[in-house]
Structure 1
Amino acid sequence: MAVDISTFRETMGLFPGAVTLITTGSGETRRGITATAVCSVTDSPPSLLVCVNRRTGTCQEIARSGRFSVQLLGQGQADVAMAFAGAQGQSGLEKFAIGQWSSCPLGLPRLAGALASISCEVVTATEAGSHTVFIGRIEDVALAGGEALVFARSKFHRLECVA
């Protein structure tokens, strides 16, 4: 017997996660979402896994272009996270009005001030329930200093070193 959706969401909310943007496209086709469903796969070759709801334009554009980038947000970027979550009704290109954006060598969106901007070529795409799981080979990385923004129990948090 499967657990109900409410219990699942409450349980997953207990898992702290790095706040990221999954972005894709270029020019008028840029799309993006806020996500915590991002993780490393392997270092040989360096690969990243992202889970994207199939109803989103972001998923459709990743499937079309075969590319995505992940922006790891810093503690001062909660406003960007909220915009890409559509908190104020933003959609499509409107989300890119917040923050300073450029393009990586692959032509994908890159957020100024992100702790890491990781650009990938899709090597595998698998449907899983309402989402598509994309595994991407990392082709480009830009790093910046700072501390990560974390999401847990439906709120943004800062990390605190305890040992």
Structure 2
Amino acid sequence: MTQNAALLEDAYKHAMRRVVSPVAVVTFPTAGRPGGLTCTAICSATTQPPTLITCVNRKIPASASMIEAGTFTVNFLKDDQSDIARRFSQVENSEDPFSVGHWSVNAAGAPVLLGAASTFDCMVERIEEVGGHYVFFGAVAAVQSCDGTGLLYRDGFFRRLAIE
């Protein structure tokens, strides 16, 4: 027996807010200034070949730019980089979000955050439309990582990992 669709959606959203997610800034080259957005819907799909999945709302302009670019970089943030996550999560931000943090550019033209916990340069392999989102499958072309604890997101707040 399934729940009423509206009740199920509300229960789903409520339950998913309880799930801890890593926080990343997904960046991509564009004809103008580079683009980017804060994302928590990212996971490894497979290691053979290395592939990441990221989900992006179809309503935001960044989704069309990612499709056009054909490439993106997933910059998983460290727990002291929440200011970068906030900057890239503001859709109507008039300030250049790349003015926070130290950035370089990879061979495909996508910005790479120096000092991120991990970065994955990806080529778009496939895009699926699911509900109101695009699901991007990114074939990983290059990886970098450094020491540090990743930034987490749960219940509307950024979180830090506590060692037990």
**3-state SS, counterpart of residue 132 of structure 1:** strand
Alignment partners' CA distance in 1, 2:161 and 2:6: 30
- The question of whether the paired residues in 2 share the 8 Å contact of 1:104 and 1:140 is answered with no
Q: Which amino acid aligns with 2:118?
A: A
- Normalized against structure 2, the TM-score is what? 0.90
C-alpha distance in 2 between matches for 1:60 and 1:98? 24
- The equivalent of 2:131 in structure 1 is 129
- The aligned amino acid for 1:120 is C
Which residue of the other structure, out of 108, 111, 125, is the alignment partner of 1:109?
Answer: 111
Runs of 4+ in structure 1 deviating by more than 6 angstroms, as ranges, are none
**Cα distance 1:27–1:97, how it changes in 2: closer, same or farther (>3 A)?**
farther
* Deviation at residue 106 of structure 1 after TM alignment: 2.2
Counterpart CA distance in 2 for 1:90 and 1:18 is: 23
1:146 maps to which residue? 148
Pick aligned residue for 1:20 from 19, 24, 27 = 24
State the superposition RMSD in angstroms.
1.8
Larger radius of gyration: 2
What is the aligned residue count? 160
TM-score normalised over the length of structure 1: 0.90
Structure 2 gaps of 5+ residues are none
One-letter amino acid of the counterpart of residue 16, structure 1: V
Secondary structure in 1 aligned to 2:153? strand
Of 20-29 and 141-150, more deviation after overlay is shown by 20-29
